[in-house]
């Protein structure tokens, strides 16, 4: 390609579950994969800190329309905490700001502490976060040494499983709601144990119904891309796999065009009310609709997908 010529991108649709490597921002990872796919449109859901690894759902083309649904999904993490030392950022990228002795606790006691965090509670977001205060990112203020009041946020911890405890090392798996700051959780756990801690390693294992076995490493992505864009595009998942928690309904062939054109259509379904995945001819995904309970289905998000070919 001649210098100065703009690269022509393709209308690529689908999802890729990237196992984000450490030391890379979520946006950089997205742009790398986008370039390898030669995709025109791209987005990601649920940013990971640069030091964190694990599942980062990347959405391309029409699949970017599911980003909002994935942002609300529960997530699970494998967490390694370093006890006895606190960092101003809450992770290993910061500066040590406190130390404390680490009590010798049994596995039973650690389990008791961890289980005390299960359920619904509130959490104060850390200063080193992307949240905004008066138009400024909190981490920008924190880098200037400023500390501002932050409103507590509601979170939910569904499960915490102790995996390892030895000396200053504590490892656990947590399944939690969106908006949960693991760095804050680690600090709160340490405080309850009578010490301080920071998140030494963080690996996201799942987002919603997406599991770790479906992830692909960046090295594998690059290896496939060396064969051209098609082998990598074959790894993309269809957009509707991100919506499996929604019931599926079918519309008549004659109603598909009306639904995609923004009109409510009638459906024959046992589902009463709420959002649903909408298909035509049984398998062509049309988008997300809202069932009103009277047999009518109104479009909420239309996807310009192609008809499946035999």
- Over residues 42-98, the pLDDT tens digits come to 998 878 888 899 999 999 999 999 888 888 889 999 999 999 999 999 999 889 999
Q: Which residues belong to CATH 2.30.130.10 in the chain?
A: 246-302
Where in the chain is CATH 3.30.2350.10? Answer: 14-72+210-240, 75-207
Q: Which SS3 state, helix, strand or coil, does residue 294 take?
A: coil
11 vs 116 pLDDT, higher one: 116
Q: Residue 276 — φ and ψ, nearest 5°?
A: -150, 150
Q: At what angle do helices 26-37 and 218-225 cross, to 10 degrees?
A: 20
Q: Domain 75-207 belongs to what topology?
A: Pseudouridine synthase (3.30.2350)
Q: Which CATH superfamily is domain 14-72+210-240 in?
A: Pseudouridine synthase (3.30.2350.10)
Radius of gyration of the chain (CA): 23
* C-alpha of 2 from chain center: 38
Distance in angstroms (rounded) separating the CA atoms of residues 143 and 166 = 33
Among 184-193, 203-212, 262-271, name the one with the lowest average pLDDT.
262-271
Question: What is the per-residue pLDDT for 93?
Answer: 87
Q: What is the CATH number assigned to the segment(s) 246-302?
A: 2.30.130.10
Which residues are tagged catalytic? 49
Strands (E) across the chain are located at 14-20, 42-44, 53-60, 75-83, 85-87, 96-99, 119-123, 132-133, 136-137, 153-166, 169-176, 197-207, 216-217, 248-251, 265-266, 273-280, 284-292, 296-302
What's the mean pLDDT when you consider all of the chain? 89
DSSP 1: -
Residue 6 has pLDDT above 60, yes or no: no
User: What is the reported pTM?
Assistant: 0.88
d(CA 61, CA 56): 16
286 vs 54: CA distance, rounded Å: 30
Residue 310 has pLDDT above 50, yes or no: no
């Amino acid at each position: 390609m001649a210098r100065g010529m703009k690269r022509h991108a393709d209308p690529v649709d689908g999802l890729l579950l990237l196992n984000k490597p450490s030391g890379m921002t979520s946006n950089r990872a997205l742009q790398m994969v986008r370039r390898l796919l030669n995709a025109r449109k791209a987005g990601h859901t649920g940013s990971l800190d640069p030091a964190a690894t694990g599942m980062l759902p990347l959405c391309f083309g029409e699949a970017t329309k599911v980003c909002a649904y994935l942002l609300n999904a529960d997530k699970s993490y494998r967490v390694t905490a370093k006890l006895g030392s606190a960092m101003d950022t809450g992770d290993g990228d910061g500066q040590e700001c406190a130390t404390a002795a680490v009590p010798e606790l049994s596995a039973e006691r650690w389990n008791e502490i961890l289980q005390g965090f299960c359920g619904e509670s509130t959490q104060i977001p850390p200063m080193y976060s992307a949240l905004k205060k008066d138009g400024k990112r909190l981490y920008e203020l924190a880098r200037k040494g400023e500390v501002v009041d932050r409103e507590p946020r509601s979170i939910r911890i569904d499960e915490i499983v102790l995996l390892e405890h030895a000396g200053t090392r504590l490892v656990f798996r947590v399944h939690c709601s969106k908006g949960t700051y693991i760095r804050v959780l680690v600090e709160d756990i340490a405080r309850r144990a009578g010490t301080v801690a920071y998140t030494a390693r963080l690996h996201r294992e799942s987002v919603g119904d997406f599991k770790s076995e479906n992830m692909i490493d960046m090295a594998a992505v690059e290896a496939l891309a060396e064969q051209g864009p098609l082998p990598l595009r074959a790894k993309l998942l269809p957009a509707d796999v991100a919506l499996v928690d929604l019931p599926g309904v079918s519309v008549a062939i004659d109603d598909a065009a009306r639904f995609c054109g923004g009109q409510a259509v009638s459906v024959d379904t046992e589902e009463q009310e709420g959002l649903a995945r909408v298909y035509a001819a049984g398998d062509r995904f049309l988008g997300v609709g809202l069932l009103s309970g009277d047999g009518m289905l109104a479009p909420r998000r239309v996807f310009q997908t192609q008809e499946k070919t035999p």
